[in-house]
Homo-oligomer: A and B are copies of this chain.
Amino acid sequence: MSRTSHRTRIHEALRLRLLRGEVGPDARLVDHAIAAELGVSRMPVREALMQLVSEGYLESTSRGFALPNLSPDRIAEVFTLRRLLEPHAVTCVARDRTGDDLAGMRASLEVAERAGADVASFHRGSEAFRNAWLGAVRNGELRHAIQRYSGQVQSVRFATLPDPAARLTIIGGLQALLHAFEAQDGPRAADLMLRFIYDAETAYHRIEERS
């Protein structure tokens, strides 16, 4: 027997698939199908799916679980929440970060910098960078809240990556954020994060207009 429960492992596996954009907006996640695929019963799958629902990653429809309908209003709401939480969080990180924290961020940033046109690699790097600074948030509740609400707009984030210019902007922002952390400049980190969220929201609106 594994030391973690099936539910936990399935939850993590599905969450990663969702974060990587491997689940299209029309895809339907059905418990018994996933159960058959993984060789377990429906119950742990079902519980994992419902946990993902309560975390905002999925929506329970009458015909399987699917990506939530991210209405523009809802997107705007989540961005508002991020504006309330993340600037404060990076201020704390600028104050509390250790050398290890900084090393992790540098390594992740390098991955993104070297990605070039490799969107998947860039995505991995920027995600790792985000996880690195989030890991330096000592307030566990705050960290959890941020992960929760930024996970919901992951698909939005993903949609902006194909644009090379957007990737360059992101790289620049991450570098500046890292420098603020290194200099323990909390206010600057908060400013940068506010700007970052603003840019993300703007990028989303540009994409939305095209469709």
Q: Of all chain B residues, which has the CB nearest A46?
A: B47
In the complex, the answer to whether B47 meets A80 with C-beta atoms within 8 Å is no
- Copies of this subunit: 2
Interface contact A77-B47, CB-CB below 8 Å: no
Cα distance, A43 to B85, chains bound together (Å): 36
Tell me whether A145 and B149 are in contact (CB under 8 A): yes
Q: Which of A46-101 contact B (CB under 8 A)?
A: 47, 50-51, 54-55, 74, 77-78, 80-81, 84-85, 88
CB-based closest 5 A-B pairs: A77-B141, A77-B139, A84-B84, A54-B54, A81-B141
Return chain B residues, CB-CB under 8 Å to A140. Answer: 74, 77
Q: 6 more A-B contacts (CB under 8 A) besides A47-B50, A81-B141, A84-B84?
A: A54-B54, A77-B140, A80-B141, A84-B88, A84-B142, A145-B149
Name the CB-closest residue of B to A140. Answer: B77
- By a CB distance below 8 angstroms, the chain B residues around A77 are 139-142
27 A-B pairs in the complex with CB atoms less than 8 angstroms apart: A43-B43, A47-B47, A47-B50, A51-B54, A54-B54, A54-B55, A74-B140, A74-B141, A77-B139, A77-B140, A77-B141, A77-B142, A78-B141, A80-B139, A80-B141, A80-B142, A81-B85, A81-B139, A81-B141, A81-B142, A81-B145, A84-B84, A84-B85, A84-B88, A84-B142, A145-B145, A145-B149
